[in-house]
Amino acid sequence: MTEVKVPTLGESITEATLGEWLKKPGEPVKADEPIASLETDKVSVEVPSPVAGVMGQQLFAVGDTVNVDAVIATIEAGDGAAAAPAPTPAAAPAPAPAASPAPAPSGDAGPAALSPSVRRAVLEHGVDPSSIQGTGRDGRITKDDVVAAASAKPTAPASAPAPAAAPAPASTGGDRAEERVRMTRVRQTIAKRLKDAQNTAALLTTFNDVDMTAVIEARTKYKDLFEKKHGVRLGFMGFFVKAACQALKDIPSVNARIDGEEIVYHDYADISVAVSAPQGLVVPVIRDADQMSVAQVEKTIGDFGKRAKDGSLKMDEMKGGTFTISNGGVFGSLMSTPIINPPQSAVLGLHRIEDRPVVRDGQVVVRPMMYLALSYDHRLIDGREAVTFLVALKNAIEDPTRLLIDL
């Protein structure tokens, strides 16, 4: 018998939440194969098996808090061919362990086969998990898979008998269901950090808009050649990251932070980019983005997005950052007031592109426009500096040649 312990989770992190069992008792396990996932303050971490054998006892239940170096399971000798022995009382807290590492659509479809966030999404959208092809690690179903399946689900015909079968709740009013779900460690940390930011910083947001015509034309003209040469699609984020880096050089206070009674200025730009993940929004960091090409930025963001979905982002990739860009436009947001990511002092919010009438050379024309929002800590950044930063970024996007000649 071999004990499986919680691995070291990173600097200053001493505990995590057991998010999901990836193996059932009695199933064969390969050496280094993930058997469980843990949720830390920043990302999900998979716990690998130290040896090959058979999954034995599971000593904690999903949702339990586990400390670093705690024994959470055992691996027994064997190949898994025989039925697993009944779990001992120590393993009793683990209710219905998760699915095997490759939950194909025809595999386990019950709630126990899914992580808590995915189960909630299944209930909210009313989809059948057995019909969903998972895109997560080892084929596991993610929250994004559920949302995509719900979007593709055909609307039920008006004659469907199911809705008419349960009139009782409408007449009695006593069958209104509620569900209490413990906040994940990631969500708890997000809530605490954002509230701390509101309580500590003097938050203010300034707005501008940008004509996306030039960037859209450049993207349309070069996207095929770009993808053929660099192996990645040419998106808008590459332009905005490079434009932000250039504006940060001109307005260094936007790239600075407050440390006690001192201001720390950075002569580099580590850009945090908000990426959607099954457990919530995560913010990995593009290191030395000011030294990268547009292609390198796009490759880095694409890699972050892929690994955020399968839960393989590393904690070191979430640390640091001198400035944040959050693109709410991918979800349809028209305008927002983003909250800074402490200890940073500013965050840029991007929004959806829509055709709007604007005046050009005395004529009303229709152009693809986007609202920009810069939230900043007014203790460090003056309004003049915030507006100047947004104008510099706007000018660079509306005339991308400025990015080439550093104007």
CATH number of domain containing 246: 3.30.559.10
Residue 162 within a domain: no
Query: Where would I find the beta strands (DSSP E) of 51-187?
Result: 53-58, 65-67, 71-76
Pair (105, 94) in one structural domain: no
Pair (238, 346) in one structural domain: yes
Q: What is the pLDDT of residues 359-388, one digit of tens each?
A: 999 999 999 999 999 999 999 999 999 999
Residue 376 within a domain: yes
Pair (60, 145) in one structural domain: no
Q: Which residues pair with residue 18 across a beta bridge? A: 38
Q: Look up the pTM and report it.
A: 0.64
Pair (389, 273) in one structural domain: yes
Pair (82, 110) in one structural domain: no
Residue 12 within a domain: yes
What is the rounded distance in angstroms from the CA atom of residue 54 to the CA atom of residue 80?
5
Q: What is the CATH number for 111?
A: 4.10.320.10
- Which has the higher per-residue pLDDT, 279 or 146? 146
pLDDT of 173 higher than 70:
no
Q: How many domains does the chain have?
A: 3
Q: What is the mean pLDDT of residues 195-212?
A: 92
Out of 10-19, 101-110, 131-140, 303-312, least confident range: 101-110
Q: Which domain holds residue 138?
A: 101-152
Q: Which residues pair with residue 71 across a beta bridge? A: 5
Determine the Cα angle at 105 with ends 99 and 108, to 5°.
Answer: 30
Sequence letter at residue 301: I
Q: Are strands 44-48 and 28-29 parallel, antiparallel or unpaired?
A: unpaired
Q: What is the mean pLDDT of residues 109-136?
A: 68
Out of 38-52, 144-158, 227-241, 367-381, least confident range: 144-158
- DSSP per-residue string spanning 237-262: HHHHHHHHHHHHHHSGGGG-EEETTE
| Alpha carbon distances (Å) from 153 to 108, 111, 233, 299, 370 | 20, 20, 28, 32, 31
- Which has the higher per-residue pLDDT, 293 or 181? 293
pLDDT confidence tier of residue 88, bands split at 50, 70 and 90: very low
Pair (236, 288) in one structural domain: yes
Active site residues: 378, 382
Residue 160 within a domain: no
pLDDT of 396 higher than 60:
yes
pLDDT of 100 higher than 50:
no
Tokens standing for residue 289: 């983005």
What is the rounded distance in angstroms from the CA atom of residue 403 to the CA atom of residue 218?
13
pLDDT of 84 higher than 80:
no
Residue 166 within a domain: no
Pair (15, 118) in one structural domain: no
Pair (140, 212) in one structural domain: no
Q: What is the CATH number for 8?
A: 2.40.50.100
pLDDT confidence tier of residue 205, bands split at 50, 70 and 90: very high
What is the rounded distance in angstroms from the CA atom of residue 38 to the CA atom of residue 7?
10
CA distance from start to end of the chain: 65
Residue 191 within a domain: no
At 109 the pLDDT is 40
At 82 the pLDDT is 43
What is the rounded distance in angstroms from the CA atom of residue 62 to the CA atom of residue 18?
5
Pair (117, 72) in one structural domain: no
Q: What is the mean pLDDT of residues 175-202?
A: 82
Pair (120, 231) in one structural domain: no
The segment with the largest mean pLDDT, out of 112-116, 180-184, 245-249, is 245-249
pLDDT of 336 higher than 70:
yes
Pair (272, 378) in one structural domain: yes
Pair (66, 125) in one structural domain: no
Q: Which residue has the tokens 């593709």?
A: 152
Tokens standing for residue 107: 């595999």
Residue 391 within a domain: yes
At 157 the pLDDT is 46
At 85 the pLDDT is 45
At 242 the pLDDT is 95
Out of 14-23, 198-207, 260-269, 331-340, least confident range: 14-23
349 φ, ψ (degrees, to nearest 5) = -105, 125
pLDDT of 87 higher than 50:
no
What is the rounded distance in angstroms from the CA atom of residue 17 to the CA atom of residue 19?
6
pLDDT confidence tier of residue 110, bands split at 50, 70 and 90: very low
Q: Over pLDDT 70: what percentage of the chain?
A: 81
What is the rounded distance in angstroms from the CA atom of residue 407 to the CA atom of residue 87?
68
Sign of torsion, CA 317 320 323 326? positive
Residue 20 within a domain: yes
What is the rounded distance in angstroms from the CA atom of residue 136 to the CA atom of residue 362?
52
Out of 33-37, 100-104, 238-242, least confident range: 100-104
Residues with Cβ within 8 Å of 326's Cβ and at least 6 positions away in sequence, in order, are 273, 274, 338, 347, 348, 349, 350
Q: Over pLDDT 90: what percentage of the chain?
A: 46
- DSSP per-residue string spanning 308-364: HHHT---GGGGS--SEEEEEGGGGT-S---PPP-TT-SEEEEE---EEEEEEETTEE
